Amino acid sequence: MNQVSSHKVILSGKSNIPLAKKIAKELGMSLGKCEVKEFSDGETYVHIGEEIKGKTVYVVQSGSIPANHHLMELLIMIQAVKMLQPKRVVAVIPFFPYRRMEKTIKPGESLTFALIADLLHAAGIDKIIVMDLHKHRSKRFFKFQRKELRAFSVIIERLRQKKLHNFVVVAPDKGSMPESKRYARELGVPLVKSFKTRKKHDEAIIKRLEGDVRGKDIIIVDDEINTAGTLAGVVDKLKQEQARNIYFACTHGVLSGPAIERLSQMRIREVIVTDTIDIPHDKLIPKIKLVSVAHSFAEAIREDR
Ligand code: R5P
């Protein structure tokens, strides 16, 4: 393993310390000293106890639940780092908060993704390293250097271990089609398209499937699982159409609201998610299988100049 430069320091917020530690370990480093805690009124206290003047500092923080709190923690950490005169500050955000709000649907809605990009810019970051944004075009809001990593290769590796036969990849909605197509091509199987509408934020209705699923094993691929409404809708439809064993794979395991209850009741074999989000123990039901993206982030930090 190439030793990483002593001019690099990795700090972690509280959202995903296990991933931050794994990234540091991959690089033969330890996390830098940094105290992050809450006052009794909920405000955040940060103290950087590391010598960082003239160094490049990587601040690892996911925008996971509670998103607003973790975002604020990140901004405060960046400000504390900047005051110690580092050479550069890189925000490492495995799961970008509000990643789905990169467009408005009706007048009067906020464009929250753009706001967060502006806040990071104002806080003074030089670069961002993220994984699987919702839409690649959302990167246009970043007024700093950016690197978007993909979970594709680690997920593909896990799927190959399944040794499935007679299976298809299902794209749960229009937005997921390009990525699902990539999975299908890589695995050498057909792509089945599913057409989704929503009446409420956390419920999905699958209008129809385009492609043959009867008697087949299925891999549904998406970028995130949030309330599991999309997955529940697709699984119902697949069962109606007599699909066999169903697997699901995605990058971000948000798992909010009714997700765990839905997953527990769902007739699905496995839910493969990465560790961009630190999933609490009470949500880690046996059908959830974790794959780590630490190596991808470690390599991005190693290569960063
Ligand atoms: C939507 O555009 C995304 O790609 C996911 O399909 C969606 O975020 C999943 O959310 P939920 O699990 O709440 O249906």
Q: How remote is the CA of residue 240 from the centroid of ligand 1, in Å?
A: 21
Q: Is 102 in the pocket of ligand 1 (CB under 6 A)?
A: no
> Domain 2-150+294-303 belongs to what architecture?
3-Layer(aba) Sandwich (3.40)
Strand residues in the chain grouped as ranges (E): 8-12, 34-38, 44-48, 56-60, 88-93, 127-131, 145-149, 167-171, 191-200, 203-210, 217-225, 246-253, 270-274, 288-291
Residue 151 vs residues 34, 73, 188, 198: alpha-carbon distances, Å: 28, 25, 19, 26
Query: Is the pLDDT score of 1 beyond 70?
Result: no
Q: How remote is the CA of residue 65 from the centroid of ligand 1, in Å?
A: 15
pLDDT number for residue 196:
87
| Spatial CB neighbours of 45, under 8 Å, sequence gap ≥ 6 | 35, 36, 37, 38, 39
pLDDT number for residue 163:
81
Q: Under CATH, to which class is 152-275 assigned?
A: alpha beta
Catalytic: 196? Answer: yes
Q: Is 94 in the pocket of ligand 1 (CB under 6 A)?
A: no
Query: Is the pLDDT score of 3 beyond 70?
Result: no
Atom of ligand 1 nearest to the CA of 176: 4
Atom of ligand 1 nearest to the CA of 229: 14
Which listed residue (8, 196, 216, 237) is catalytic?
Answer: 196
Q: Is 230 in the pocket of ligand 1 (CB under 6 A)?
A: yes
- Please state the domain extents for the chain: 2-150+294-303, 152-275
Mutate to test the pocket of ligand 1, among 222, 236, 237, 271 (most ligand atoms within 8 A of CB): 222
Query: If you take atom 2 of ligand 1, which residue's CA is the nearest one?
Result: 175
In tens, the pLDDT along 109-154 reads: 999 999 999 999 999 999 999 999 998 789 999 999 999 999 999 9
Q: Is the dihedral of CA 200, 201, 204, 205 positive or negative?
A: positive
pLDDT number for residue 204:
84
Q: How remote is the CA of residue 47 from the centroid of ligand 1, in Å?
A: 36
In tens, the pLDDT along 10-56 reads: 999 999 999 999 999 999 999 999 999 999 999 999 999 999 999 99
Helices within 27-176 (DSSP H only): 67-82, 112-123, 152-160
Q: How remote is the CA of residue 52 from the centroid of ligand 1, in Å?
A: 39
In tens, the pLDDT along 198-254 reads: 878 777 888 899 999 999 999 999 999 999 999 999 999 999 999 999 999 999 999
Q: How remote is the CA of residue 268 from the centroid of ligand 1, in Å?
A: 17
**Given strand 167-171, what is the order of strands in its sheet?**
203-210, 191-200, 167-171, 217-225, 246-253, 270-274, 288-291
In tens, the pLDDT along 205-221 reads: 888 999 999 999 999 99
Model confidence, pTM? 0.95
pLDDT number for residue 4:
73
Q: Is 175 in the pocket of ligand 1 (CB under 6 A)?
A: yes
Q: How remote is the CA of residue 132 from the centroid of ligand 1, in Å?
A: 13
- Looking at the DSSP bridge assignments, the partners of residue 127 are 90, 145
Atom of ligand 1 nearest to the CA of 172: 6
Tokens, residue 139: 């990167």
Q: Is 257 in the pocket of ligand 1 (CB under 6 A)?
A: no
